[in-house]
Structure 1
Amino acid sequence: MNEQAVISEQDQLKENIRLLGRVLGQTISSAHGDEVLEQVEAIRKIAHDSSNNDEKARSELTSLLSSLSNEQMLIVARAFNQFLNLANIAEQYQSIAPGQENTHSGERVLVEFIRRSKDSVSAKDLQKALEELSIELVFTAHPTEVSRRTLIQKHQLLNDCLEALDKSTEVEQQDDIHGRIAELIAQAWHSDEIREQRPTPVDEAKWGFGVIEQSLWFAVPKFMRRIHKFLNDETDITMPTDWMPMSFVSWMGGDRDGNPFVTHKVSDEVLASSRWMAMDLYLHDVEQLCAEISVVVCNDTLRARVGDATEPYRVLLRQLRDDIHETRSYLSAKLTGESTDAKDVIQHTEQLREPLQLCYDSLVDSGLELIANGLLRDTLWRVHAFGAPLVKLDIRQDSERHTEVLSELTRYLGIGDYEQWSESDKQNFLLSELASKRPLIPADWQPSDNVQEVLNTFRLIAKTDPNALGIYIISMARQASDVLAVQLLLSECGCTYRMPVAPLFETLDDLNRSEHVIRKLLENDAYRGYLHGKQYIMIGYSDSAKDAGFFAAGWAQYRAQEALVNVAKEYDLQLILFHGRGGTVGRGGAPAHQALLSQPPGSLQGGLRVTEQGEMIRFKYGLTDLAVQSISRFAAAVLEGNLLPPPEPKQEWRDIMDQLSDTSCEVYRGMVRENPEFVPYFRAATPELELGKLPLGSRPTKRKPGGGVETLRAIPWIFAWSQNRMLLPAWLGTGEALEKVRQDGGEQELITMFEQWPFFNTRLSMLEMVFTKTDPWLARLYDEKLVPKDQRHLGEDLRSKLENSVQQVLDLIPTHSLMDADPQIHASINIRNPYIDPLNILQVELLLRSREQGEQSKETVLEKALMVTIAGVAAGLRNTG
């Protein structure tokens, strides 16, 4: 992108932000009076100076905000929170606005790669890569999701207004749009930003279905139309109608790891709700097809199916419409517990696909490709992408829960305690029982409630259509027995099909052991037979980073993937690596294209399976065009990773990464695990304890009650550190590690790694992003107000480590200026900072007041204001965990 285009784009973005901000100001004035608006504006102006390191402005801003009453704080917090949400809307729209020359455009990246690849890749290889292209997006709930669905819907409508304003030329029409913008912003201001009740897992699942209904349902055919057209225009490649490179999976209602609210009944309800939504969406499509396709000519196959009907397509489509309607009625009754005469007609995807494909083929045979390739083809693409289930449901459970089942069972049978056995004895027992023809679980056994729930989940899997389910993920998988245990329990509970079982390797030790575990499994003929040539393995980013820090986790993930790719080749298996990435750097987050191309060569050959979490689902898929861009970006990265893979790292680079990993892990663990002052400091300097009170996601913030950092989930761990602007998990240990390599004479090699190795380049680029969002001044303010004096030295030490980490990275990147290579992101952060800073200062004061009042405090205004600041900081940083 040329400099002039960047300026033009930024000017347009700022104009839209000014427009939305001006209307918000009018709304605040109307609701609370000019005096309140003037106060908000005064704070904004001081905050702007403060964000430019003006010490006098910082002092003035802190004093002013600290002097406000709780009620005043709530209004100010809401104002800045709302503004940041409006800035997000403007920025989101700008990324997809027509006529913008956007280097971040996923479509542009995809198109440019295919054009570029023609010089180095044969048409045959490109076509094969396209045919094998597989992108499976796994939507997960988020325990720190901060935006209510009602506000998200208003934000989507505001985006539509900005688009309409762009296209409008009539003054009267523009006036109408401005009026609609004012109405929507007023609705948002007079709504409660914070939900009163925690969402249930079913609520979260319905939120996920809503993203499909409002966006992805339209994005899938839009993406397919565009890529087909491009391939037809630019290449000799023609892909078949049934080619569908993407599919969708959900963890919402299936992820029971540490979430006691996800039960077999919840999963059953979510499966039914998902099918209901699918039937509702298909019903609209098929009704429109019935209305439009009044064609009278058809081929012999369709004629044989419908007889001598004058309008053959309508006969077939009306029957399909009635079957879908009947199925939707049946599912409605099931979900509400009412009796019904309706039948569950459409249970399998083929029942949707076959009549639609028959109509399509007949139209093509009749020379009516124009009609065939309209709405009918769009609907067929939706059937291929979503199927009858809409989204497949993954099931995830902690390995300890399976061990608990087998221990209780073996004790009941009088053969010992499974949990106490050696790994060898466990494997021998499991393999023997898998080969046995007799049942292991006695009919008269009455297990404990916890064990019964695990067994009920396996029985639900056994009776569910396998096409409605994804895979079974074992969190905290450490040994081969953890995988065999799930296979045995599936078999014992009557599962007649082979559900894919994926170990999740998520701590440093588990990642390092992953090759050994998989080899041990693959040595067994029966296990290899179970796989049918396809092995799923999940790589954990969140917990590995929480366990070992940034460099150590990233390098362990790389080496584990590398080793697993080699094992899969050895056994001639298709390896599908499932990436448990989050939105933040501390959880594996990075720009999709950059992150995927930094993986080891061969790691994308089985396709891409990746989690998309919470607020990142909104940011990447909440609007149709955003979803098209995101899918395009993934497609480009997977194609490039397979056709033009990144280089193998040199041995010298591996040696340096080993050193960076060891040094950074030692520093990270030395602080987080071994320093007895760290946990008390962490809980004083961040809102970690207060986060547990917020009615955010359905899942508790801890896997187990009590305990320290080790029991805290990775997401709220990172969330807490983002709130006080330290973002500690994403960088702690990196400065010392880089400094040691440089002192040992490795500086030039580090620079070469940055220039030539995508993996290392991405590491430093991710750190650049983190450092632009940290703010030592604000972090110090949290310490001064909230941390006991005898613990503040720890904060000083951490800020010194942060300063050193920033300097070490600056010394290695060519520009010696953070985010210089990405001016759009840099500009975005600069726009937000004057609005995030007051929220941080308010949060400090509110935390102080809340803690002084203690647990007995019933001050609802104070608590609500605190929640709003947390939501606002999250909105401003564009990620929560």
Structure 2
Amino acid sequence: MSEQNLRRDVRLLGKVLGDILHNQEGPDLLNQVESIRKLAKQARSGDTGSWDQLRGLLKELEVSEAKLVARAFAQFLAQSNMAEQHHRIRRRRSYLASETFLKRSPDEVFRSLIEKGVDPKELLNITSNLSIELVLTAHPTEINRRTLLQKYNTLESILSELDDCKEGSVQEDLALNSIRSVLTEIWLTDEIHRQKPDPIDEARAGLLIFEQTLWDALPTFLRELNRSCQKHLGASLPFQAAPIRFGSWMGGDRDGNPFVTPQTTRHVWAMARWIAADLYWREIDALRSRLSLNQASKDLQDRVGNVREPYRHFLREVRDRLDNTRTWAAALMEGQTPPDLRIYRHADELKADLMLCYNSLCSTGAEIIAKGKLTDLIRRVSCFGLSLVRLDVRQESTRHSDALAAITKHLGLGDYSSWSEEQRIHFLNAELASKRPLIPLDLECSEEVQNVLDTFKEIAITPSGSLGCYVISMAKKCSDILAVELLQKAAGVANPLPVVPLFETLEDLRHAGATIDHLLSSPSHLQIKDIEIMLGYSDSAKDAGRLAATWALYKAQEDLLRVTQAHNVSLRLFHGRGGSVGRGGGPLRLAIQSQPPGTIQGSLRITEQGEMIQSKFGLHEIALRTFEDYFSSVVNATALPSAPPKPEWRSAMELLAGHSVIGYREIVRNHPNFVPYFRSATPEQELGALNIGSRPARRKKGGGVESLRAIPWVFAWTQTRLLLPSWLGSGVALNQLLDSEHKDVLLEMAQEWPFFRSTLDLISMVLAKALPDIAQYYEERLVPSDLHNLGKELRSRYHKAVEGILITTQKERLLEDNLTLERSIELRNPYVDPINLIQAELLHRIRSNNSDDQLKDALLITINGIAHGMRNTG
């Protein structure tokens, strides 16, 4: 579909915003914004005079002016983002209305794979057993207030109405008035988070996405998938199939977040149960009003007796039981003892009741009714269960060691923390096999240790189906995993949660295979059949740079697959990817097609973080497209896995990774001026004022980059447009090999190896988005002159990275194969540039001991605006 409609929408929204500026703030602001916009466009086209004039103009703005100008540009960018989202929906509808298969839809996937020789029966088996779990996290990267998100979603629906209006019609006038009204509401709404959320607030906001879109979008996708199965594979999708499920870390992730307590976790899973029961109650109530039929099967009649309307009678019982479930969950949320009521405790109970109705309808000639809303509801139960999401618990490995140390000291066994790995494993295996209690009733311990022990007690009393797994962050050794298994046993957990080690540094990834081999060889694990292992993309990239981390993750997956196959254990990988490239993000299709062969076997668990939740699921049809992307990528990777890399490619990649990590760490870890430069040249110090997450920005107080979490690390560099975490080290590595005998191999890899090609594509995209001249302006305004040489070195490395990418990919421009993105960046830059220049000036004033609240508000608006322009934060 033509981009003309998108340009029309952007022009329309821009004109309406201009009218609002004129009406609400006066003509002077509109004229000022227009002058700045024109200067920015001229400057970005190479006019140095306009660049100097723009900098001078923005430097002299009063804070009240700076705030309004930044708001105007920020809102234009946010509106443009929504227009682009709507255009994606428009394109999807256009495909569906034509005879052309929508790319990456189930229809297109099945047709393509069958043409390539895949047996339809095999495809049906893959599809029926597919397991994609999307784990929603509360990582603080969503800078928009929920109020504004809802208004932008309303704007999208009005744009959709406008598409169907005839020019000059009454309907068009009404739609245009609605757009003016919504955009005025947005302008007059405070966009700043005034209060920091607590973990329950985060979870409540996160669960709203189910009511907003997912509750309806998932059964819509499953209807589409079922139709494609019937059309191409000759069979229906089984009722028990749950190709997409959801998990969550909101309220369960206590790693570095002291505000997540056992009580928090209980409140959140109970809240999820309440919302699920409420959504099911509404569906049953609507279904009951429709099923006025008086004929039913003998099984159903036996349940309800001789009544006139058996379905309504039976569904009233189901509805009442769901109402009881809401009452039960509400009591738990309030910290009260729930009343003794007949509730739904297991999803199978609800599904059995629904299947009774389904089978009855089918057996009495009403199959067409059974295959409508009732089928949607049954499929919801298969995918959402009784709690919408399974809540993971996450804690850092040393917290478990500290708990065991407190126990061993109290028992007179010594200090667990000081034991060798062999001593720890011997103790843990012995205690796992022992029947005696481990934790003394009179144990005296710190508040931190008690919190860990109380968490395991909470797990022990949580109903099945509410929790997912126990993730150990910063897992390094076999004992880290056994420790959690022992603490679950000691707390009396009847059905222990799967323990999932998270390997997230370069060193830990290198040893992941050996660690799991050691674990699977221990006495307590000789009989296990499956294991889940999480890989950390964010911290590994912060530790070693994106290029080296990407290769380490690839090899770790190969090692883990080899080890688990040797032990005859099924492996499931859990990918902890962020939204930005610097934290493992990027186009899903590229990410999955570049995984090692055999590591995606119809199963994928992956995080969806922060702003990506709204971006991927905030609108019904965008959510459908996201489901299609996941489905097509995983089915393709399972049915036709990529070929293993050639030995010479592996050798070259080893060299690249080695050069890359050296090039990255010699700056980030070893350069004496890097930390002071980073803190001066970026808004890292000010990001904590955003109030967008409950979790502290640092794992520990003080320290350098290593103590900073990956999100603010990437967020800070995104704000200054240097995007350093995503490319630093890659230029050094590529140029080293291009100047060696490995050049031809490198060029071949770029053309023929999907893993390497997708890695280069992502780095190319980041380099195209980056603007060193903007970063240089921050340096000029904020960084002491004795640190400027480091900035000069970073910009030099950026240009060398661009040069290395272009030679390796044999292209003249970074995005010559992606003209749509190239054009989008070109169009956005003149709107983002002024916000950057204003931000640098505001930071200069704030750091000159000016603590004016107006300045801080203006700064927060610039942070929001740049995030809108870059389409992600951290």
TM-score computed with the length of structure 2 as normaliser: 0.97
In 2, the alpha carbon distance for the partners of 1:228 and 1:198 equals 44
| Contact preservation (8 Å) 1:329, 1:342 | no
The partner residue of 2:484 within 476, 483, 486 is 486
Where do 1:51-130 residues align within 5 Å?
51-97=44-90, 99-100=93-94, 108-119=104-115, 120-130=117-127
Give SS of 2:207's match: helix
**Deviation of 1:99 (Å):** 4.2
| C-alpha distance in 1 between matches for 2:211 and 2:418 | 49
Unaligned runs of 5+ in 1: none
Show the counterpart of 1:376.
374
Deviation (angstroms), 1:290: 0.6
Give the conservation status (yes or no) of the 8 Å contact 1:555–1:657. yes
Partners of 2:342 and 2:336 in 1: CA distance? 14
Within the alignment, does 1:140 sit opposite 2:166 as a pair? Answer: no
Range with bigger deviation, 413-422 or 323-332? 323-332
Report the AA paired with residue 366 of structure 1.
Answer: T
Q: 1:496/1:107 Cα in 2 relative to 1: closer, same or farther (>3 Å)? A: farther
Q: Are residues 101 and 59 of structure 1, via their aligned partners in 2, closer, same or farther at CA, if it must alter by over 3 Å? A: farther
| Alpha-carbon distance between aligned partners in 1 of 2:597 and 2:763, rounded to the nearest angstrom | 23
The answer to whether the aligner puts 1:844 opposite 2:837 as a matched pair is no
Cα distance change on mapping 1:754 and 1:367 into 2, 3 Å: farther
The equivalent residue for 1:676 is: 672
- Residue number in structure 2 paired with 1:614: 610
Alpha carbons 1:738, 1:808 under 8 Å: kept: yes
Aligned partner (choices 785, 799, 804) of residue 800 of structure 2: 804
CA distance in 1: counterparts of 2:94 and 2:677, whole angstroms: 47
- Give how far 1:100 is off: 3.8
CA distance in 2, matches of 1:118, 1:818: 35
- 2:546 corresponds to which residue? 550
User: Which residue of structure 2 aligns with residue 235 of structure 1?
Assistant: 233
Task: Output one character per residue of 1:272-319: Cα deviation in whole Å (capped at 9) or x when no partner.
Answer: 111111111111111100111112222222122111222111111111
Kindly state the Cα deviation for residue 606 of structure 1 after the two structures are TM-superposed: 5.5
Cα deviation, residue 446, structure 1: 2.4
Is this contact kept in 2: 1:541–1:588, CA < 8 A?
Answer: yes
Instruction: Quote the Cα distance in structure 1 between the aligned partners of 2:308 and 2:191.
Output: 56
How many angstroms apart in 1 are the aligned matches of 2:558 and 2:335? 50
Distance apart, 1:637 and its partner CA: 0.8
Please report how far the alpha carbon of residue 106 of structure 1 lies from its aligned counterpart in structure 2 after TM superposition. 7.5
Counterpart of 1:434 in structure 2 is 432
- Structure 1: which amino acid aligns with 2:154? L
User: What aligned pairs does 1:323-362 form with structure 2 within 5 A after superposition?
Assistant: 323-336=321-334, 343=341, 345-362=343-360
- C-alpha separation in 1, matches of 2:204 and 2:221: 24
Whether the aligned pair in 1 keeps the contact of 2:101 and 2:108 (CA below 8 Å) is: no
CA distance in 2, matches of 1:417, 1:466: 35
Give 1:662's aligned residue.
658
TM normalised by structure 1 equals: 0.97
**Conservation of the 8 A alpha-carbon contact between 1:20 and 1:86:** yes
Distance 1:826 1:361 in 2: 55
Q: Distance in 1 between matches of 2:18 and 2:846?
A: 29
Q: Which moved more, 1:150-159 or 1:830-839?
A: 830-839
Once the two structures are superposed, the pairs formed by residues 440-455 of structure 1 within 5 Å of their partners are: 440-455=438-453
Deviation at 1:137, TM superposition (A): 0.1
Moved more, 386-395 or 224-233: 224-233
Q: What's the CA shift for 1:696?
A: 1.7
Q: Where does residue 204 of structure 2 map in the other structure?
A: 206
Q: Equivalent residue for 1:539?
A: 535
Match runs of 1:141-220 below 5 Å: 141-169=138-166, 171-220=169-218
Contact kept? 1:398, 1:476, Cα under 8 Å: yes
2:287 alignment counterpart: 289
Within a 5 Å distance, the mapping from 1:274-673 to structure 2 comes to 274-336=272-334, 343=341, 345-529=343-527, 531=528, 533-605=529-601, 607-673=603-669
Partners of 1:344 and 1:684 lie apart in 2 by 61
The aligned amino acid for 1:13 is L
C-alpha distance after superposition, 1:701-741 (max 9, x if no partner):
10011111010001110111111111111111111101111
Cα distance in 2 for partners of 1:541, 1:397 equals 17
* Equivalence for 1:14: 7
Task: Note the C-alpha offset of 1:230.
Answer: 1.8
Answer whether contact 1:836 1:873 (CA < 8 A) is retained: yes
Rounded to whole Å, the distance in 2 between the matches of 1:22 and 1:108 is: 36
RMSD: 1.7
For the 8 Å contact 2:602–2:635, the answer to whether it is kept is: no
Q: Contact between 2:106 and 2:228, CA under 8 Å: does it hold in 1?
A: no
Farther off after superposition, 607-616 or 464-473: 464-473
Residue 816 of structure 1, CA deviation = 2.3
The 8 Å contact of residues 107 and 632 in structure 1, kept in 2 or not, is answered as no
CA spacing shift, 1:339–1:392, aligned 2, 3 Å: closer
Could you say if the C-alpha distance between residues 814 and 344 of structure 1 is closer, same or farther in structure 2, counting changes exceeding 3 Å?
farther
CA contact (8 A) 1:105 1:629 kept: no
Q: Relative to 1, partners in 2 of residues 1:769 and 1:363: Cα closer, same or farther, differing over 3 Å? A: same
1:826 aligns with 2:811: no
Greater shift, 37-46 or 595-604, is seen at: 37-46
CA distance in 1 between counterparts of 2:249 and 2:513 reads: 26
Q: Specify the code of the residue in structure 1 equivalent to 2:306.
A: D
Quick one: distance in 1 between partners of 2:422 and 2:826?
57
3-state SS of paired residue (2:607): strand
Following superposition, the deviation at residue 505 of structure 1 comes to 0.4
Q: Determine the structure 1 residue equivalent to 2:867.
A: 874
**Percent identical residues:** 45
Identify the residue that residue 751 of structure 1 maps to in structure 2.
747
Tell me the secondary structure at the aligned position of residue 690 of structure 2.
Answer: coil
Code of the residue aligned with 2:34 in structure 1: it is E
**Within 5 A, what are the aligned runs for 1:724-743?**
724-743=720-739
- One-letter identity of the residue aligned with 1:118: I
Inter-partner Cα distance in structure 1 for 2:68 and 2:513: 55
Is the 1:741–1:747 contact (alpha carbons within 8 Å) kept by the matching residues of 2? Answer: yes
Give secondary structure in 1 for the equivalent of 2:568.
coil
Counterparts in 2 of 1:212 and 1:870: CA distance versus 1, 3 Å: same
* Structure 2: runs of 5 or more not aligned: none
